Amino acid sequence: MSQLLLPQASAFGKVVVLYGGTSAEREVSLNSGKAVYDGLLAYGIDAHLLDTGKEDVISALRDGDYARAFIVLHGRGGEDGEIQSILHYLKIPFTGSDMASCAIAMDKLVTKSVWRDAGLPVLPDMQVYADDSYESIAQELRSACFVVKPALEGSSVGVSRVSNQQEFAAAFIAAGGAGEKIMAEPWIDGRELTYTVLGEDVLPSIEIIASGSHVFYDYEAKYLADDTRYLCPAPIEAALDGALREDALAAFLAVGGSGWGRVDYLLDEQGYASLLEVNMVPGMTSHSLVPLAAKEAGLDFTTLVVAILAQTM
Ligand SMILES: Nc1ncnc2c1ncn2[C@@H]1O[C@H](COP(=O)(O)OP(=O)(O)O)[C@@H](O)[C@H]1O
Ligand SMILES: [Mg+2]
C-alpha cells in the first residue's frame, strides 16, 4: 500500500450512505451499508443512512444537503450506473466508478467483450435463449458442461451448472427466463480467486473455498454458510500472483473503473486463469472479501471506508 494520509472527519462534511435498494441483493446491501455507516461514524464523520428502496431518493438527496455520497448498493439500480447518474446530475460527489463504467461492469457479456478486445484472458461465452438446445450451446462453447447465469445479476443469483437438455431448461428459468439477458460459458472446475483494487493499489489476493456441500460459490456459501473458507493471501506462486494482480488492475481500468472494486478469477486445473467479472460495489459486510484483503494489507475496516470516501475529495 502506498502511504495513506486521510483527511480529518470534519473535512468530509455531511455524508449520505446509500444502501438497501430494490435489487435481488437488497439484503446484502443492508448489511454492507450498515457496516460502512458504522465505520464512518467510528471515524467521527457526520454520516446518514438512506435506504433507496424505501425513500424517494431524488428528493431525499436534493433536500439532504449532503457533501458527498458513499454508494453501498449492489446490483441493479446501484451498481449499474443508475444511482451514479442521479448523483452526477445533482452534483453530489460519490464513491467508486462513474455511470458509464458501472453500466459496462454490470453486464458480464459486455465486460468480457471489452476484456477480450484488450487481450485479457476470458472464457468463451454466448448469450442464450429459451429455444436454444443444450447440444448447440455445448458445441459452440466446446464444452459438455457449462454455466448458465443472468448477465446482469450478482451474488450468485440464478447461477446453474448444465450438462444436459433438461438441466438447460431448468437453468434458463432459474436465471430469470425469457426477458432476462442470460449467458453461458464453459464450466470450470477449479479455484476461485479475487483481487481488490483500491485507488491505484491492488490488495492481497484471496482464494475462496466453498465447502464440499456446495457445487460452486453459491448464494448460501457466500452469505450464510460458516464453512466457506477464505485464504488471504491465496496460496499461489508469486509469479502467478504478480501476473493476476497486473491483469486485475488492467481489467478494472479497461472498463473505466476508478476508486475501488473487486476483480474475480477462475483458475482451471491446468493453472490457467480467466477473468470472471468485476464488481463495482463489492460486499462490505463483516464477512466480505474486500475488508479481508484490506486487513491483510494493514488497513482496518474504518481506515478502509474512510480511504474510499476520501477518493471523493
Ligand atoms: N464458468 C464458470 N465455471 C464454474 N463456476 C462458475 C462459472 N461462472 C460462475 N461460476 C460460479 O458461480 C459464482 C457466481 O458467478 P459470477 O459470474 O461471479 O456471478 P455473480 O455476479 O452472481 O457473483 C462464481 O463465484 C462461481 O462459483
Ligand atoms: Mg461473482
User: What is residue 218's predicted lDDT score, i.e. its pLDDT?
Assistant: 74
User: What is residue 156's predicted lDDT score, i.e. its pLDDT?
Assistant: 74
pLDDT digits (tens, 9 = 90+) for 41-97: 999 999 999 999 999 999 999 999 999 999 999 988 899 999 999 999 999 999 999
The rounded distance, in Å, linking the Cα atoms of 272 and 142 is 17
**Residue from 23, 109, 149 to probe ligand 1 pocket by mutation (most atoms less than 8 Å from CB):** 149
Residue 235 has pLDDT above 80, yes or no: yes
User: What is residue 214's predicted lDDT score, i.e. its pLDDT?
Assistant: 66
pLDDT digits (tens, 9 = 90+) for 156-165: 778 999 999 9
Centroid of ligand 2 to alpha carbon of 265 (angstroms) = 9
Prior bond of 233 cis (ω within 30°): yes
Ligand 1 residue neighbourhood (C-beta within 6 Å): 123, 147, 149, 153-157, 159, 185-188, 192, 216-217, 264, 266, 276-277
Helix (H) or strand (E) holding 230: strand 229-231
pLDDT digits (tens, 9 = 90+) for 250-270: 999 999 999 999 999 999 999
Nearest ligand to the CA of 160 is 1
The rounded distance, in Å, linking the Cα atoms of 312 and 143 is 44
Residue 222 has pLDDT above 80, yes or no: no
**Residue from 122, 141, 156, 211 to probe ligand 1 pocket by mutation (most atoms less than 8 Å from CB):** 156
User: What is residue 181's predicted lDDT score, i.e. its pLDDT?
Assistant: 95
Mean pLDDT of all residues belonging to the chain? 93
Residue of 189 and 214 predicted with greater confidence: 189
The rounded distance, in Å, linking the Cα atoms of 82 and 59 is 15
Residue 273's DSSP bridge partners are 267
Active site residues: 25, 155, 223, 262, 264, 277, 279, 283
Which atom of ligand 1 is found nearest the CA of 222? 25
> Please, what are the domains in the chain?
9-95 (3.40.50.20), 105-121+189-300 (3.30.470.20), 126-186 (3.30.1490.20)
One-character DSSP codes across 123-187: ---EEE-TT--HHHHHHHHT-SSEEEEETT--TTTT-EEE-SHHHHHHHHHHTT-TTS-EEEEE-
Residue of 189 and 221 predicted with greater confidence: 189
pLDDT digits (tens, 9 = 90+) for 94-135: 999 999 999 999 999 999 999 999 999 999 999 999 999 999
